[in-house]
Amino acid sequence: MPDAEETVDASGLLVMPGVIDPHVHIDDHVSLDTYETATSAAALGGVTTLIDFAWQSYVSEDSPWEEERSLHDGVERKRENSTEALIDFGLHGGILREDPDLFDELANLVDAGITSFKMYTTYEFGLSNGFIREVFERLRDLDAVGVAHTEDDSVCESLIAKFRAAGRTDPTWLPAARPDYAEAMAADDIARLAQETGTKYYGIHTSCRKAAEALARYQDDGSLIRGETCTHYTTLTGEVYRKLGTLPKIAPPIRTGDDNDAMFEYLRDGTLSVVSTDHVAQTRERKENSEWWEDPFGANGLQTSLPVFHDEAVNERGSSYPFLVRVLCANPAQTFGLPNKGTLEPGTDADIVLFDPNETYTISARDNASVADYTIYEGREVTGKVTRTYLRGELVATDGEVVGKPGYGEFVRRERPVWGED
Ligand SMILES: [Zn+2]
């Protein structure tokens, strides 16, 4: 090693790998952040690598696109929009249409480091189980990972229509309109398809006990089914809709205290292995001007996830620091083919966070680097604060100030992930 030019005194601080957030939305039809604003929030939050989505465009009345374009095209658009990134990032492919032309694209995308593909079972761009099965077979052959947002669309749509007709305009109806069993039904279907086709499958943003139970049911082979939850599902309850109205509108919705407990039970037994943010930047203006059923989805979390999850998991529930590092750093890196990330092993990328576990502060949207002008954790006092974030050895954030350079963050070509005895 060369002589150090600078010595940093980390006594009393935790020295941990940078957080890997594999579920983030930036600069597209669902999120207002640019790469510069989202990755600034990430750097302040101790996140050194994120995985965003490149979308296959679709056309409809509500679609942001004018024409149907390929997934390759979506990747190019994201690469062009990401030149101002301050931290490293990868991309999942997002499949929004049942177009068999897609199948000819997949091998090239996997070779280009896009080794996971997301599909939805709900919304106007949701896919049928039959098409998802077709995609899974191809992903299996390419050693790639299938990712799915699982909620049963017709159950959710019929409940929303029923509540609308009954004039139930209070946002506290949100969780009942997208119920836990609708999530569990679709989670069960897709996990079963993955198991039957022998495909690596990652169930994203698991929000409730029933959906986690569904994933657990298909993990008896011990290798190919994995699951994620998000920080908000471990610590917030539906009470947040009473307090903040439609601002925390997300899907699946925020649920109950028992579901918070279930997220920890299933994280501890490994059914769920990753905690992400599902970061989406929206503004109050866009969120608060319509009824809850018309409101855009999404909540921002890149800047606050580590301190909030640390406070909930370690301070409130007695989880260990190795647990924290597993679910925030090591597991997401391993799950998505990032061998140089999520670890402090010599020879890896030197993505390092210094974290003061004893400093207490109050979360406020005034500190947001994201263009989002609110936070679902507004006013929450947490103990534990990110003090420094390093990416590939360079300081990118220190004491609440972003010091990294836009453009220093690089696209990471991910490897084909190896899971279990795969
Ligand atoms: Zn998402």
User: What CATH homologous superfamily does 24-402 map to?
Assistant: Metal-dependent hydrolases (3.20.20.140)
Kind and range of the H or E run holding 290: none
Ligand 1 centroid vs 126 CA: distance in angstroms? 13
What does the pLDDT profile of the chain (422 residues) look like in tens digits?
Answer: 788 889 999 999 999 999 999 999 999 888 999 999 999 999 999 999 999 999 999 999 889 999 999 999 999 999 999 999 999 999 999 999 999 999 999 999 999 999 999 999 999 999 999 999 999 999 999 999 999 999 999 999 999 999 999 999 999 999 999 999 999 999 999 999 999 999 999 999 999 999 999 999 999 766 699 999 999 999 999 999 999 999 999 999 999 999 999 999 999 999 999 999 999 999 999 999 889 999 999 999 999 999 999 999 999 999 999 999 999 999 999 999 999 999 999 999 999 999 999 999 999 999 999 999 999 999 999 999 999 999 999 999 999 999 999 999 999 999 999 997 54
Q: Three-class SS of residue 80?
A: helix
pLDDT score for 235 = 98
Whole-angstrom distance, CA of residue 212 vs CA of residue 203: 9
Ligand 1 centroid vs 204 CA: distance in angstroms? 8
Ligand 1 centroid vs 277 CA: distance in angstroms? 8
CA-to-CA dists, residue 405 to 45, 56, 82, 398, angstroms: 16, 30, 13, 13
Ligand 1 centroid vs 276 CA: distance in angstroms? 10
pLDDT score for 222 = 63
Ligand 1 centroid vs 60 CA: distance in angstroms? 20
Ligand 1 centroid vs 21 CA: distance in angstroms? 11
Whole-angstrom distance, CA of residue 223 vs CA of residue 366: 43
Ligand 1 centroid vs 422 CA: distance in angstroms? 27
| DSSP letter, residue 22 | -
| 82 touches 38 (CB < 8 A) | no
Ligand 1 centroid vs 359 CA: distance in angstroms? 31
Long-range contacts from 287-290, C-beta under 8 angstroms, 24+ separation: 287/246, 287/247, 287/249, 287/374, 288/245, 288/246, 288/247, 290/246
pLDDT score for 422 = 43
Domain positions in the chain are 24-402
Ligand 1 centroid vs 232 CA: distance in angstroms? 13
